[in-house]
Amino acid sequence: MKAAMFKTIGQPLTIEDIPEPVPGAGEVLVRVLAAPVLSYAQEVFTGQRHYPLLLPLAPGCGAVGIVEKTGPDATRLKPGQLVLCDPTVRSRDDALSPDIMLQGWTAPGEGAQKLQAHFRHGSFAEKMLLPLENAFSLDHLRSIDPAKLTWLVTLLVSYGGLLAANLQPGQVIMVNGATGHFGSAAVALAVAMGAARVVAPGRNEQTLNNLVRRFGPRVRPVLLSEDETNESKRSEAATSSSIKYSAYSLSEREALNRQRFMEAAEGPIDCLLDLLGPIHDPAPTRRGIMTVRPGGTAVLMGGVQTNLDIPYNYVMRNNLVIRGQWMCPRHAPSLLVELIHSGLLNLEPFSVSTFPLEQANQAVHYAYEHGGAFQLTALQPSGI
C-alpha cells in the first residue's frame, strides 16, 4: 500500500510502498477515505514543534474510512462499515492512568512510544491499523462527504473541553481563542449543546461577526484591542483607546474586562474553555479564569507557553475549578456523532479543501496557509 512517509525532520514527505498491516486480536484495518491535515503539521515536520515520534512513519492524526478487516474478537464492527478513526490511543493494561498517544502524531513518554512502536503509522496512507475501540461507526452519516466528516477530529478536541467543563443547557460559557480553528469549532458545539450564550472574545472583527452570522444571537462577540490580547508587549503605536486602556493597572484592567464580558453574557459566566494557541502571554488566560463566576469551571486545553499567576485566595474563596484536558474521553466520539445525526450540529458551515495522497507536501503547506476558523485541509489516499 502507498503512504506518505515522514523519515527525517526537515525533509519533505515521500510517497512509498509499505507493507499492508494484518489485524490481530483487538485490532481493525481501515481503508482511509479522508484524513485531516492539521494547520501546524508543517511546524512538526520541520522540527519547529518538537513532537516525540518514532521515525520513519506515516503521519496523520485521525481519519474517516471503511473497515476492511477485523481481528477475531470483533463483535460489532464489520467490513464495509464507515468509521471514524479516533487518534487517541490508550494503553489497555492500566485503566486508571493509561499511557496515551496520538496515533501518527505524538507519543510523549516511554509507555506511549511502546504503543507507537506497534500502531506506528497514521492516516497519511491508503490503509491504517488501529485498536478496535478507536473505530466508531459513521453509518448514520453516510450521506455526508467523508472529507467533510474529517472535521470530527477537530470537533472532538473542542468537545472534550466542553465535556470537561460539564457544560449544561442554559449555561453561559466563554471561549478563549474563539476566532481560531479549534475555538470556532467550540463555539459551534456550545450552541449545539444548548448554551444560553457563548461569549467570544477576539481581535478579528470579521471572524467574530462571522460567528454571529453562522450561529445566531446566542454568540456574544467581544472585540479586543491589541493591548488586551498582548498585555506584556504593548505596541508603541497604540490607538488612543488602547492608550486609555493601558493606563490602568493590571487589577483595574481585569475588572474592566470582567465587566465587558459579563455585559456580553448578560450575567455570570458559568465556565471558560481556553483554546488559545502557542502564545507566551498568560494574561488572556488569567483574565478568563478571573471572569468565571464563583463555583464555576475553567478548562485549559490550549497551547499557552508560560506559567499562570493565579491568586490562591481568589480561587479558594470563589470555589473555582481549574482543570486541564488533553483530547477527549473515550465515549466522546459516539456522543458527537449523535449530535450531528440528530441535526443539533450542522457541518455545513465547515469548509474542507482536499488533496490526493501524492500531493501530501502541497497539502501540508496549504493547511499551514489556510488553518483558521472553519477551514480544514484533508488528504484522500484512496483517490475518491
pLDDT in tens, 211-251: 999 999 999 999 997 665 555 444 333 333 444 445 555 56
User: What's the mean per-residue pLDDT of the chain?
Assistant: 92
User: For the segment 313-345, what is each residue's pLDDT rounded down to a tens digit?
Assistant: 999 999 999 999 999 999 999 999 999 999 999
Residue 91 resides in a domain: yes
Which residue(s) pair with 222 in the sheet? 201
Note whether 133 and 74 are within 8 A (CB): no
Residue 15 resides in a domain: yes
Query: What's residue 258's pLDDT?
Result: 82
Could you tell me if 252 and 367 lie in one domain? no
Residue 169 resides in a domain: yes
Residue 51 to residue 374: CA distance in whole angstroms: 25
Could you tell me if 14 and 125 lie in one domain? yes
What CATH number corresponds to the domain at position 247?
A: 3.40.50.720
For a pLDDT cut of 90, what percent of the chain falls above it? 89
Could you tell me if 318 and 355 lie in one domain? no
- Domain extent for 291: 162-324
Could you tell me if 135 and 189 lie in one domain? no
Instruction: Considering only the C-alpha atoms of the chain, give the largest distance between any 2 of them, rounded to a whole number of Å.
Output: 69
Could you tell me if 179 and 318 lie in one domain? yes
Amino acid at 158: S
**Which whole-number Å values give the CA distances from 1 to 24, 33, 84, 131, in the listed order?**
18, 14, 20, 20
Burial category of 237 from C-beta neighbours within 10 Å (exposed 0-12, middle 13-18, buried 19 and up): exposed
Residue 340 resides in a domain: no
Residue 189 to residue 264: CA distance in whole angstroms: 19
Could you tell me if 124 and 246 lie in one domain? no
Q: Collapse the DSSP code of 44 into the 3-class scheme (helix H, G, I; strand E, B; otherwise coil) and give the result.
A: helix
Could you tell me if 273 and 353 lie in one domain? no
Residue 374 resides in a domain: yes
Residue 341 resides in a domain: no
**Which whole-number Å values give the CA distances from 151 to 37, 233, 346, in the listed order?**
10, 34, 11
Query: What's residue 252's pLDDT?
Result: 74
Could you tell me if 246 and 318 lie in one domain? yes
Residue 45 resides in a domain: yes
Residue 80 to residue 99: CA distance in whole angstroms: 31
Note whether 330 and 105 are within 8 A (CB): no
Could you tell me if 246 and 308 lie in one domain? yes
User: For the segment 122-165, what is each residue's pLDDT rounded down to a tens digit?
Assistant: 999 999 999 999 999 999 999 999 999 999 999 999 999 999 99
> How many structural domains does the chain have?
2
The stretch 162-182 carries a mean pLDDT of 97
Could you tell me if 58 and 126 lie in one domain? yes
The residue that leads in pLDDT, 383 or 189, is 189
Amino acid at 98: P
Query: What's residue 240's pLDDT?
Result: 38
Could you tell me if 250 and 214 lie in one domain? yes
Could you tell me if 49 and 92 lie in one domain? yes
Residue 114 resides in a domain: yes
The stretch 192-217 carries a mean pLDDT of 96
What CATH number corresponds to the domain at position 106?
A: 3.90.180.10
pTM score: 0.91
